[in-house]
Amino acid sequence: MLPLAIGAVLAVMLMTWAVVLYNGWVKGRNRAKNAWSQIDVQLKRRHDLIPNLVETVRGFAAHEQETLESVIEARARATAAPDVRSTARAESALGGALGRLMVVAEQYPALQANDNFLALQEELASTENRIGFARQHYNDSVMDYNTAIQSFPANFLSGSFGFTEETHFELTDEAARRTPAVAF
Amino acid sequence: MWEAIESNRRRSWVLVAISGAGLLAFGTLIGLIVDPAFFWVGTLSALGLFFTLWTLAWVGGHRVLLSAAGARRLDSALELPLLFNVSEEMCIAAGLGWRPALYLIEDPAPNAFAVGTSKDDASLAVTSGLLQKLSRDELQGVIAHEIGHLVNRDTHFMTLAGVLLGSIVLLAEVFRRTLLLGGGFVARRRASSRSLSIQTHALLLVAGILAAVLAPVLARALYFACSRKRELLADATAARLTRFPDGLANALEKIALHAAHSRSAGSRVLAPLCIVNPRRAFGEAGWFSTHPPLDLRVAVLRGMSGGAHYGAYEESYRQVSGGRSCLPPSTLASRRALVKREAHLDSSESSTERREAVHAALGRLAGCTTATCLCGVAFRVPPSLALDFVTCPRCGRDNELPLAEHDQPSVPAENRPSVPSVPAQRYVVDEPGWQSFRCRCSKTIHVSPALLAREIVCNTCGRRIEIVRRANLARPRTRSEERRAHASD
């Protein structure tokens, strides 16, 4: 009778442990997913800002056609990117193109004095920051989640429940990650 | 980050349980002394006191604090884009999913505080001095510290702890006065009850007096110790969110430097809430200080050589304070190093544009009409001024205040039967940005740069005002544009 009771208590404790672990993993995975959608929101915000920015710059520096076109093209490619890896690549190219545009804009005092442009510049700087912080938060969440499902002894269970590692989001292009020209 | 929240919650509950038990025991003791047969009256009144204070704090605490600080709510991101952007960035970094309401306080001394216990009433108030004196990196550090308080549920916990402290102090006060004024009352009750011997009662009385003297002191010390721990944790969270501890360190130094000029935040009620206690910015921290010493905080932030994670903060704290620990161990579980970032190139601290923007926002919040004299002096004219011109204190010119012109409505009146038939007016907007002018009824009206409507109605007199926007390209340069163009040539 006693061994049976001990066995039952142990089984219940094991079950509880598994349930707590499982719920923790679900929470972690949802956090990572939610964090990912935040990056998307901010990238969308950047895409929405670009047409307005390009038009404003065009008004003062129409003959910088090449730079303007490259920004528009990069934006089109970024919005059309199908998966995570190509999104990262297209977004970093877009960041580079925007950086060049801002360098060009610095040569036009009239543009630098335009209220509309200054407001856009602040919005763009903030958007770059937001993308950076959203990415930071996503990577933090992914790291927490990955640590949780990989650590011993939980790693024996996590695989069988279908919890797999999430990938980090890195902007590969170092120039795009910094976007120094936007910080003014 | 999640570990910090979890561990905070556990610790908070333990603390609240201990203080709550202390409060109940104290109440019961008083009940026993007054009348042993009805000792539960004491317990119940302690409970009642706690719940009354708790309800008051929960329902209106944040509103009382904000209005005591003279904080005005900023409704639109157009009011101060920088503040809204930096706050939004920090909320994203913290994965909050919502942003606290933002408030502005007119005070030349930089400072900030966060109040509110839930998503709906969480509020972040900053002084105008903070926006005018800090660079973007420093502002980010301060906002991250305040967001850290919200994320770590410090506002939540400190409200509860404050209510418990308040109950204990009040109860002790009531008991002391009862003893002083109504000693006879206690004695009479004692004579009438036979359940306790005289010795026991004397013992209880001594215990009661001891408790009445010691409990408030202990509760206070406990409360302030918690407060100091939470400030450190919020600093660590800020470093983690921004990945740039030096930003907050610089900001703390600047805030302490200007704290002497504080106008509103110097009140006793608000001082413990602020990022730097304005009443005692410098000096040693004792048992009853709400914040850790400023030098310590700055030294810890500056000494974070290992990165921006909690572990680096803890390590730096150990080095500065000689081996003591400051963060709960569970926050340090993740040994992963987070790399610090570099300072932003922009050091556009207190640029003229930003100072003007903050000044204008303060004016709008106070309902003032803003006008600029030809000599460059900007005015904020309070709505109570009955004149329609103002004399420039520098050059002596009389400046007419912007006023709506009488005009015939551009659309036939029969198309808008719902609007009362008072004469329509017109105002021509010829500068970008916010506009302010007076209606014919002398009510000040502010026009946001995002307003698309062609016509607005004065909400005091009901007059219609047509808003005419001059074409963007044809407009002359504004004075600030003129100045910027001149500077960049």
B31 and B170: one domain?
A: yes
- Estimate to the nearest angstrom the gap between the alpha carbon of B445 and the chain centroid: 28
Report the chain B residue with the minimal C-alpha distance to residue A133: B93
Mark whether B89 is an active-site residue.
no
B218 touches chain A (CB under 8 A): no
Q: Is residue B479 part of a domain?
A: yes
Q: What is the pLDDT of residue B487?
A: 58
Cβ contact B432–A42 (<8 Å): no
Q: Residue B280: its pLDDT value, please?
A: 66
Lookup: tokens for B5: 């929240």
Decide if B343 is inside a domain.
Answer: no
Say if B351 falls within a structural domain: no
Considering only the beta carbons, identify the residue of B89, B477, B485 that sits closest to A109.
B485
Same domain, B288 and B398: no
**Domain range for residue B411?**
356-488
Average pLDDT over residues A22-48: 88
Reported ipTM exceeds the 0.90 cut = no
What percent of chain A has pLDDT above 70? 92
Residues B314 and B361 reside in one and the same domain: no
Could A115 and B433 be called an inter-chain contact, meaning their C-beta atoms sit closer than 8 Å? yes
Considering B332, B365, B380, which residue would you say is the last residue of a domain? B332
Co-location of B84 and B47 in the same domain: no
Looking at the fold, whether B378 and B464 belong to one and the same domain comes out as yes
Residues 6+ apart with CB under 8 A from B63: B121
Residues B57, B100, single domain; the answer is no
- pLDDT at A109 > cutoff 60: yes
Question: Which chain B positions have a beta carbon within 8 Å of A105's beta carbon?
Answer: none
More confident: B101 or A154: B101
Q: Identify the domain boundary among B227, B244, B268.
A: B227
H or E segment to which residue A9 belongs: helix A2-60
DSSP collapsed to 3 states, chain B:
CHHHHHHHHHHHHHHHHHHHHHHHHHHHHHHHHHCHHHHHHHHHHHHHHHHHHHHHHHHHHHHHHHHHCCEEEECCCCCCHHHHHHHHHHHHHHCCCCCCEEEEECCCCCCEEEECCCCCCCEEEEEHHHHHHCCHHHHHHHHHHHHHHHHCCHHHHHHHHHHHHHHHHHHHHHHHHHHHHHHHHHHHHHHHCCCCCHHHHHHHHHHHHHHHHHHHHHHHHHHHHHHHHHHHHHHHHHHHHHCCHHHHHHHHHHHHHHHHHCCCCCCCCCHHHCCCCCCCCCCCCCCCCCCCCHHHHHHHHHCCCCCCCHHHHHHHHHHHHCCCCCCCHHHHCCCCCCCCCCCCCCCCCCCHHHHHHHHHHHHHHCCCEEEECCCCCEEEECCCCCCCEEECCCCCCEEECCECEECCCCCCHHHCCCCCCCCCEEEEECCCCCEEEECCCCCEEEECCCCCCCEEECCCCCCEEEEEECCCCCCCCCHHHHHHHHHHC
For residue A129, the chain B residues in CB contact (below 8 A) are: 85, 89
- Measured on CA atoms in the order B227, B286, B220, B272, is the torsion positive or negative? negative
Q: Is B54:B253 a contact under the CB 8 Å cutoff?
A: no
Per annotation, catalytic residue among B79, B106, B138, B146: B146
For every residue of A43-108, which 3-state class applies, written as one string? HHHHHHHHHHHHHHHHHHCCCCHHHHHHHHHHHHHHHHCCCHHHHHHHHHHHHHHHHHHHHHHCCC
- B369 shares a domain with B255: no
Residue B347 falls inside a structural domain? no
Contact flag A137-B89 (C-beta cutoff 8 Å): no
Tell me what pLDDT residue A176 has.
45
Note the CATH number of domain A35-178: 1.20.1440.20
> Please, which residues 111-170 of chain A have a Cβ atom closer than 8 Å to chain B?
112-116, 118-119, 122-123, 125-126, 129-130, 133-134, 136-137, 140-141, 143-144, 147
> Which residue, among A115, A135, A145, A174, would best test binding to B if mutated, counting the most B CBs under 10 Å from its CB?
A115
Are the beta carbons of B82 and A143 separated by less than 8 Å? no
pLDDT tens for each residue of A5-25: 999 999 999 999 888 888 888
Which residues 63-122 of B are in CB contact (within 8 Å) with A?
A: 81-82, 85-86, 88-90, 92-95, 97
Confidence of residue A38 (pLDDT cuts 50, 70, 90): confident
A contacts of B348 (beta carbons < 8 Å): 184
| Residue A55: how many other CB atoms lie within 10 Å | 12
Which of B88, B97, B480 is closest, CB to CB, to A130? B88
Whether A34 contacts chain B with CB within 8 A: yes
pLDDT at A179 over 60: no
**Other C-beta atoms lying within 10 Å of the C-beta of residue B17:** 10
Does B127 share its domain with B58?
Answer: no
Would you call A179 helix, strand, or coil by DSSP? coil
Tell me, what CATH number does B261's domain have? 3.30.2010.10
Tokens of B304: 């974070």
| Residues of chain A neighbouring B148 (CB-CB closer than 8 A) | none
Task: Tell me how far CA of residue B177 lies from CA of B30, B31, B33, B173, B191, in angstroms.
Answer: 12, 15, 14, 6, 21
- Give the integer Cα–Cα distance in Å for B329 and B7: 9
Q: Which amino acid, one-letter code, is at B420?
A: P
Query: Which pair of tokens denotes residue B148?
Result: 């850290």
Q: How many CB atoms lie within 10 A of CB A152?
A: 6
Chain A neighbors of B353, CB-CB under 8 A = 118
Q: How much is the pLDDT for B2?
A: 63
Q: Which structure tokens are listed for B224?
A: 């302030």
User: Within this chain, do residues B366 and B324 fall inside the same structural domain, yes or no?
Assistant: no
A130 and B92 in contact by Cβ < 8 A? yes
Contact criterion met (CB below 8 Å) for B74 and B362: no
Are the C-beta atoms of A65 and A149 separated by less than 8 Å? no
**Alpha-carbon distance A114 to nearest alpha carbon in chain B (angstroms):** 7
What residues of A are in contact with residue B480 (Cβ under 8 Å)? Answer: 115
Question: Cβ–Cβ of A115/B481 closer than 8 Å?
Answer: yes
B355, B324 contact by CB (below 8 A): no
Higher pLDDT, A43 or B429: A43
Clarify whether residues B124 and B267 are in a common domain: yes
Q: What is the pLDDT along chain B (489 residues), one digit of tens a residue?
A: 566 677 777 777 787 788 888 888 888 888 887 777 777 888 888 889 888 888 888 887 788 888 888 889 998 888 888 899 999 999 999 988 889 999 999 888 888 999 887 888 899 999 998 998 888 899 999 999 999 999 888 888 888 888 888 888 888 888 888 777 765 555 555 555 555 677 777 788 888 888 888 888 888 888 888 888 888 889 999 998 999 999 999 999 988 888 777 765 456 667 777 878 776 666 556 667 778 888 889 999 998 887 888 888 888 888 888 777 777 766 666 656 677 777 765 555 457 778 888 888 888 888 888 777 778 777 788 877 777 778 888 888 887 777 777 755 455 555 554 555 555 677 777 777 778 888 877 788 888 877 777 788 888 877 788 887 765 433 444 555 555 556 555
Q: Where is A23: in which H helix or E strand?
A: helix A2-60
Q: CB-based burial of residue A45 (10 Å sphere; 0-12 exposed, 13-18 middle, 19+ buried)?
A: middle
Chain B neighbors of A177, CB-CB under 8 A: none
The reported pLDDT for the residue numbered A175 is 43
Say which residues have a Cβ less than 8 Å from residue B385's Cβ, sequence separation at least 6. Answer: none
CB distance A127 to A46 below 8 Å: yes
Cis ω before A153 (30° cut-off from 0): yes
Question: Is B223 in the same domain as B235?
Answer: no
Q: Please give the mean pLDDT across all residues of chain A.
A: 82
- Select the residue of B95, B336, B480 nearest A35 (Cβ to Cβ): B95
| Residue B20 placed within a domain | yes
Is the distance from CB of B426 to CB of B407 less than 8 angstroms? yes
The count of domains in chain B is 3
Say if residues B258 and B108 touch (Cβ distance below 8 Å).
Answer: yes
**Shortest CA gap A22–chain B (Å):** 17
How close is the nearest chain B Cα to the Cα of A91, in Å?
Answer: 19
pLDDT at B473: 37
Higher pLDDT among residues A138 and B265, named by residue:
A138
Q: In chain A, what are the domain boundaries?
A: 35-178
Please report how the helices A115-150 and B81-94 are oriented relative to each other, as an axis angle in degrees rounded to 10: 10
Q: Which two tokens stand for residue B30?
A: 């008083």
Q: Which one of B92, B97, B346 has the shortest CB-CB distance to A133? A: B92
Residues B376 and B460 in one domain: yes
Query: In terms of CA atoms, which chain A residue is nearest residue B431?
Result: A115
- Last residue of one domain, picked from the residues B227, B249, B276: B227
Of A109, A143, A184, which is closest to B488 when you measure between CB atoms? A109
Does the residue B67 lie in any domain?
no
